[in-house]
Amino acid sequence: MWFDLEPVGLDFLGTAPRRWVAEAHVALPRDAVWDAFLDAPGWTRWFPGVSEASYPGGVAPFGPGTRRFATVGRQRFEETVLCAEVGVRWAYRIDRTTVPLAHAQVEATEFEDDGEGTRLRWTLAARPRLLLRVGGAMMGRTLADLLDRAARNLEREVARTP
């Protein structure tokens, strides 16, 4: 069963009732990290729990409005890219999902140079439903752990790619 979310915009990052932010360092140059984020099918090799991710027709997100589909664990998502500032910020809205966690949700990742690599800042902004309100206390730690694992996995993935 699918649940539709409210079609909020990028400004929701600043107005959402709940926001969680996680940061991680990736020992890779920013352009390599950016490329990995845009390669939807590649997420299955480095982002924990992602078993499928794609763009209709395999089209990369060149700007707002691009659709993306993903399966994470048992949950499926239909998303719309809201922002694709090359090497700076990538954001999307959840349009539909199979698990009713939020009435509205936007996620954004910011990229910045950080010494010998890239600093990632992942923000999840939501108008939570009951399930996310109950689990919200653990969400900050969960996102931080996920992003840290993703960063380590991405480093290994890039190292083994010729």
Mean predicted confidence (pLDDT) in 51-62? 83
Lowest model confidence (mean pLDDT) among 55-64, 75-84, 95-104: 55-64
Mean pLDDT of 20-37: 96
pLDDT value, residue 61? 64
2, burial (CB in 10 Å: exposed 0-12, middle 13-18, buried 19+): exposed
Q: 3-160 maps to which CATH number?
A: 3.30.530.20
Pairing of β 102-114 and β 117-128: antiparallel
CA-nearest of 16, 112, 121, 7 to 67 is: 7
Q: What percent of the chain has pLDDT over 90?
A: 85
pLDDT > 70: percent of the chain: 98
CA–CA gap between residue 47 and residue 66 (Å, rounded): 21
In the predicted model, is pLDDT for residue 45 greater than 90?
yes
DSSP string, 41-85: GGHHHHSTTEEEEE-GGG----STT-EEEEEETTEEEEEEEEEEE
3-class secondary structure, 87? coil
pLDDT confidence of 150, banded at 50, 70, 90?
very high
- Strands (E) in the chain, as ranges, are 3-4, 18-26, 50-54, 67-72, 75-85, 89-97, 102-114, 117-128
Overall pTM surpassing 0.85 (yes/no)? yes
Residue pLDDT, tens place only, 128-140: 998 788 878 899 9
| Per-residue confidence band for 96, with pLDDT thresholds at 50, 70 and 90 | very high
Residue 1 CA to residue 12 CA, distance in Å, equals 26
